[in-house]
Structure 1
Amino acid sequence: MSEGPMRIIHVASSLRAPLGGAELYCVELAIAQARVADVAVATPLVDEATRARLEGAGVRVDVRPVWRPYPSDGRGPNPAARALFHALDAWGAVRAPQGYRRGELDADVVHVHRFQGVGAGVLRAPPGRPVLHTVHDYALVDTRATGARGGAAVDRLGALQRARTALHSRAAAQASLLIFPSVRTRDRNLALGLDVPGERVAVIPHGWPWSSRHQGGRRDGGLLFLGKLSERKGVAELLEAWDGGIGDARLAIAGAGPLEGLVREADGGVTALGWLDGAAKEEAVAHALALVMPSTWPENFPLVTAEAMLAGTPVLTNALAAGPLIEDGVNGLVAPDPSPAALRAVLTRFLADPGLQARLAAGARATAAQLDMDAHVEVLLDRYREALGVEA
């Protein structure tokens, strides 16, 4: 390890807005660590607002371009482009592109978040330079990163996926540590074929900052969806469940993505807020009666639930989507499945019972104590020191 503050470099295959949960976590963690360490971020893509925020907090942004057949926020213009992307991704598990190979990331510790588009080869730790990977989803075992098909979690993927998993396992097994934010995500990755030494696996829940920590403030009686407007986030299921409204309740949908047109055409008390960030997002979450998370895949550690807990806002979700923070009847309500009918039953039950709303809000406030970002940073620094062989 170099003299002076620990040098940390975070790797994300894209930091271009709109940022998903893994990208937001990478940004917030880098900013929090910059108060106690020398921190940089290496990425092929970054938008100017994200870059300015990182650099304003003392985090260096190192843009290392990587060629890909379609933009990072696209789904592939055609099957050939998607096939080429996944072929390059598989090759990247054997040899990462220039700029991301062993030894080319100059720091004491490399912390990888998103590798798709860069290649799992970035996980291979060179001698004396630890590489840790936060496993935000199922990308190691599934090209879709969801571990689900047709709105249902699967226990076994196809032969091509299994071959890809074997390639990725060989790269991941050379990482110093794989960090899973939830037990469920660790167990599902292993069940779907990820093969890595048990001593190189840890479960460390995320921390999350919340500048104003709104709790117990004014609630306007509305429900809120916050996230990417995509199929796997359950936007269509939510609109079908709402189906003209529930009493005089209101539903606000904040986000951007391919289903934005569908949201703007909805009626029955649905308001499209567009993409929210920063203070506007905090205010929306703090004023909502509940947050609705109707995702149709097994979410890992959805940061939107952390934001809700920090605001004292209950979460209404389903058993497939619910992350480790949500306890049915304690700080939210959990439908048995992602179907519109099951979701509508949960929404109706919640909106009809003010006493239940108050109990779940109190439970959300209690859960917030688990999310201290400063404590989370210390836990990770200890893991870095352990990997470096340095005493705390």
Structure 2
Amino acid sequence: MTPVGFSYLSGWDHEDHTALLGMVKLECQRIAHLPEGAPLGGASTLPYGRQMKDWQNVCAAASAMQGSSATQARQFFESWFQPYLINQQAFYTGYYDPEVSASLTQGGEYQIPVYGRPKDLLRGRNEKGELEYGHWVNSVFRPYDDRATIDGGSLQGKGLEIAWLKSPVDLLFLQTQGSGRLRLPDGQQVFLGYDGRNGQPYVPIGRVLVQRRLMKTEDVDAQSIRDWLARNPDQAMSVLEANPSYVFFRRTQRTADEGPTGAFGLPLTPQRSLAVDKRFVGYGMPVWVDISGKDAQGRFVTWSRMTFAQDTGSDIRGAGRGDLFLGWGDRAAKIAGDMKNYGRMMVLVPLPAPGVGDVPQDGTVAGASAAGAGQTSR
């Protein structure tokens, strides 16, 4: 990562700095309630921001700003944060809060269970400090049952069913997004939140379809996958079970206007919350997203704005990898399904005192070309 000036953030002048300050205040409240010494994540090469103590002065300054003007809010960021450019091409996808038809009782067309977390499913950290899920088998910690085994009935009779769906494809999309809204026959909504996974490797269904020569790489998106599975019910389960990963849920309390809770512990905000790889970008850090290129329909897209690292995902791996939360509803689902864009990513690192960062005054990048530093080919 290379330090850059705020002038390197395309569109920074036109951001809603007051709204951004409000999000920092919410994050500071969350950080204050974390266990003392809890690591926030982030690359080891970053000078600050990986520990709670690195945010103390920033949060105190944010709390002191009551009724601040847009200019003062902007000055807060430029004083208390140092932007760092990730020196490789960033890749962005999108996710959303899906809604599917469901019933709280099994019957009729509702035959696919949504499972809560099994009591013997545990989580811990491996020697690298990474979170792992599994259970003890003959004194050895192993991944839990894979998707095919669970589909075969290994969890039946344990009272784990939260609800019943019409299709295993609906379940897949709930699990891929990590949260969801169940629309019951009487019109009521039940909200689901992520409650762990089985510890098996995640294999994208699109990759399975391409490897089996059932779909071309350029044709893969959320809608095309759903359409293929609907057209080929005789092959659908074989394709679905090629992904051994399985996500468990819990019922949550929220309103229809609220997003699900992300891994950082805050409700996700549409177009402001970003899922990241915690090994490189720590929770809470502001992240400047800069996209320029063609979308899935070949249309030219430019999109630049501040987001916040508030979530993670099993397929979100690597520096410069971001998954943008887009909200709920048909429009969010459509945008999320189409979003596969390259660009740049800048991480704003909190500083222990105002102005101590290495900020190039001319806005150029130290030690890298300003025109696409570290870009790689598709």
TM range (shorter): under 0.3
Instruction: Normalising by structure 2, report the TM-score.
Output: 0.26
Q: Larger Cα Rg: Structure 1 or Structure 2?
A: 2
TM-score (norm 1): 0.25
More strand by share: 2
Indicate the structure with greater helix content.
1
- Higher normalized contact order (CA 8 Å, seq sep 6+, divided by chain length): 2
